[in-house]
Amino acid sequence: MHIEINGNIQALIFDVDGTLADSMPVHLESWREVGKRYGFDYSKAELERNAGMSGQEIVEVINENNGLSLDPDKIADEKEAAFLKNLDQVKPIEPVVRVLEDFYGRMPIAAGTGGYRRVATKILQNIGIWDRIDVLVASDDVVRHKPHPDTFLKCAESLGVQAEACLVFEDAELGFRAARAAGMEVVDVRPYYMDDRKV
């Protein structure tokens, strides 16, 4: 994955799940495990469609789709507990991590995620790049999550960089919309690592 960065870019912002960390299969299994307890199924298509939402927002969608009235905080917490049990299965997405490593020390780097701060921190520690992240903005830190721009705007503000001088790396539609709404350029990382996986 080779990225040409124009001279206006002063900071990089990376999504975590599906961008830096190959965690989506573990998230899917975690939702399915909780779904067995509470009477709902969760498909790969739903996982992809909801990527970037907070856990509580996903539970609200599950309630709406399944005629349920599950407690969003309780179910999201149970799902994250199931995810953390299998954290060792989460591996780095090497082509994207290489970009981060290439620019580490050359410009500030943030991570902006729809996940909980404690979970995102553990993921980044597990894949060995926690010490490369200058700022982490998680679902706990903003009221409005992706596709709203707040996560990425808070990253820019915390880094002390203008929004339009940030380049975002993302893998999900809600994240692309959030980056564009923030006035930032965005790179869809999926073609890079999908191409790499075919090799």
Write out 113-178 in H/E/C secondary structure.
CCCCHHHHHHHHHHCCCHHHCCEEECHHHCCCCCCCCHHHHHHHHHHCCCHHHEEEEECCHHHHHH
Name the CATH superfamily for 24-88: Putative phosphatase; domain 2 (1.10.150.240)
Q: What's the confidence (pLDDT) of residue 6?
A: 81
Report the pLDDT averaged over residues 130-150.
97
* Residue 170 bridge partners (DSSP): 188
pLDDT bin (cut points 50, 70, 90) of residue 139 is very high
The residues assigned a catalytic role are 15
In tens, the pLDDT along 66-116 reads 999 999 999 999 999 999 999 999 999 999 999 999 999 999 999 999 999
Same fold for the domain at 11-23+90-198 and the one at 24-88?
A: no
Write down the pLDDT at residue 195: 54
Contacts 24+ apart (CB under 8 A), 69-74: 70/38
Rounded-to-integer distance, Cα 40 and Cα 36, Å: 6
In this predicted structure, what is the pLDDT of residue 44?
A: 95
**Can you read off the two tokens belonging to residue 49?**
């469609």
pLDDT reported for residue 3: 75
154-194: per-residue pLDDT in tens?
A: 999 999 999 999 999 999 999 999 999 999 999 999 998 76
User: What would the CATH number be for the domain defined by 11-23+90-198?
Assistant: 3.40.50.1000
pLDDT tens readout for residues 23-73 = 999 999 999 999 999 999 999 999 999 999 999 999 999 999 999 999 999
Q: Is 29 exposed, middle or buried (0-12, 13-18, 19+ CB in 10 A)?
A: middle
pTM: 0.93
For the chain, the structural domain boundaries read: 11-23+90-198, 24-88
The Cα–Cα gap between 161 and 155 comes to 9
pLDDT band at 7 (very low <50, low <70, confident <90, very high): confident
